[in-house]
């Protein structure tokens, strides 16, 4: 099978991103080569508001998408003639932003006579570990980002089933909201991780949600409420650091506890035992280490994407697009942007 080269576009939240990825398809999924990956973060535009403002995000995507795409194309030694298709995130996400990248992708596909592939952002995260290593399907996936927290059985592109999900907040959302209560900047996850490194949370008692439940669901609202309450009693920077450490450990423990159930069930029906964690929260070192230990305990290999591909990027969208293209799964030009789009 010949290699497929795809331009990917990502505009579903607060990064405007474009990337060119080449896939060498094989029966097991194939090997990916990232030829370029450009990410323009809007953090500075939103920082003053303590979170992403959808209207500002959409306008910023309009301002940046052409330039970011031009840079991603300039870094590869070929023009649009070298592409086999154009992939764009079509949801889920902030729909004003999604429309910018999707419309830009449609226009480019029409102008160049290339096939368009509408990609689910979550499917992008699901394949992101394949950007750093040749990972064969199937695998068990923990997807933890700002908007999502779920366990998925990934059999291949377009062939994934959810075996657990959060019943309230996403893990990254919990990081962000608790970080805000501690007076840390946006985005809160990385800031809370830095603060936690100075603290010792072992004396702080936080609720353990859904413990002992038989399913693989998550809940972070009880932890969030308790952390908010304790944050109000923090007097010193050390108090704050101790709370940050306790919160990080509590989130890591819940992720590992719920994953353990999924690992045990998965191992009963699969000989190829691989556990992958992806999404922005997978950039957290404590969480990676905790999940790696949990995987090892159950006889699973463990993999997380390279740091740069944990948080939002377009390389994962280009790769998901290339894998879809290899299967002939292209989209009509009138495909719509979807604010909600469960896998």
Closer CB to Zn ion, residue 193 or residue 245?
Answer: 193
188 binds, among Zn ion, ligand KG4, none (CB under 5 to 8 A by kind): ligand KG4
Distance CA 231, CA 102 (A): 41
Asked whether position 283 contacts ligand KG4 by CB under 6 A, the answer is: yes
Cβ–Cβ contacts within 10 Å for residue 197, how many? 13
Closest by CA position to 9, among listed 98, 125, 128: 98
Number of H helices, E strands in the chain: 10, 10
283 binds, among Zn ion, ligand KG4, none (CB under 5 to 8 A by kind): ligand KG4
137 binds, among Zn ion, ligand KG4, none (CB under 5 to 8 A by kind): none
Closer CB to ligand KG4, residue 18 or residue 326?
Answer: 18
257 binds, among Zn ion, ligand KG4, none (CB under 5 to 8 A by kind): none
* Residues of span 297-336 touching Zn ion by CB under 5 A: 312
Closer CB to ligand KG4, residue 73 or residue 88?
Answer: 88
- Which of 281, 304, 318, 320 is the binder for ligand KG4 (CB under 6 A)? 281
| CA-to-CA separations, 91 to 37, 277, 340, in angstroms, rounded | 20, 21, 7
Distance CA 111, CA 83 (A): 13
Asked whether position 91 contacts ligand KG4 by CB under 6 A, the answer is: no
Closest by CA position to 73, among listed 8, 132, 14: 8
> How many residues line the site for ligand KG4 (CB under 6 A)?
19
Asked whether position 14 contacts Zn ion by CB under 5 A, the answer is: no
Residue the block writes with tokens 């990502």? 10
| CA-to-CA separations, 226 to 134, 178, 181, in angstroms, rounded | 42, 10, 11
Using CB under 6 A, list all residues that contact ligand KG4: 13, 145-147, 172, 175-176, 187-190, 193, 279-281, 283-284, 311-312
């Amino acid at each position: 099978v010949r290699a497929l080269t795809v331009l990917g576009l990502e505009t579903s939240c607060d990064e405007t991103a474009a990337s060119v990825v080449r896939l060498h398809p094989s029966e097991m999924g194939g090997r990916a080569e990232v030829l370029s990956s450009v990410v323009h973060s809007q953090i500075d535009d939103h920082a003053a508001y303590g979170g992403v403002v959808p209207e500002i995000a959409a306008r910023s995507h309009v301002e940046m998408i052409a330039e970011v795409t031009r840079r991603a194309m300039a870094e590869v030694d070929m023009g649009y003639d070298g592409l086999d298709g154009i992939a764009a995130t079509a949801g889920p996400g902030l729909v004003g932003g999604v429309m910018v990248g999707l419309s830009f992708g449609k226009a480019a596909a029409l102008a160049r006579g290339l096939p368009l592939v509408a990609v689910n952002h979550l499917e992008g995260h699901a394949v992101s570990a394949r950007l750093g290593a040749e990972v064969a399907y199937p695998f068990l996936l923990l997807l933890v980002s700002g908007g999502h927290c779920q366990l998925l059985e990934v059999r291949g592109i377009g062939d994934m089933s959810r075996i657990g999900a959060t019943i309230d907040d996403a893990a990254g959302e919990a990081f962000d909201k608790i970080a805000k209560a501690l007076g840390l900047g946006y985005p809160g996850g990385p800031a809370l991780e830095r603060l936690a490194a100075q603290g010792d949370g072992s004396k702080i008692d936080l609720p353990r949600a859904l413990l002992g439940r038989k399913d693989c669901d998550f809940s972070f609202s009880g932890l969030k409420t308790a952390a908010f309450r304790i944050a109000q009693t923090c007097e010193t920077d050390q108090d704050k650091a101790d709370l940050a450490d306790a919160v990080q450990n509590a989130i890591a423990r819940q992720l590992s506890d719920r994953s353990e159930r999924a690992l045990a069930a998965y191992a009963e029906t699969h000989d190829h035992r691989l556990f992958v964690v992806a999404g922005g929260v997978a950039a957290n070192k404590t969480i990676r280490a905790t999940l790696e230990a949990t995987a090892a305990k159950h006889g699973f290999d463990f993999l997380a994407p390279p740091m740069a591909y944990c948080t939002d990027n377009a390389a994962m969208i280009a790769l998901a697009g290339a894998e879809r293209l290899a299967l002939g799964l292209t989209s009509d030009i009138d495909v719509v942007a979807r604010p909600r789009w469960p896998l």
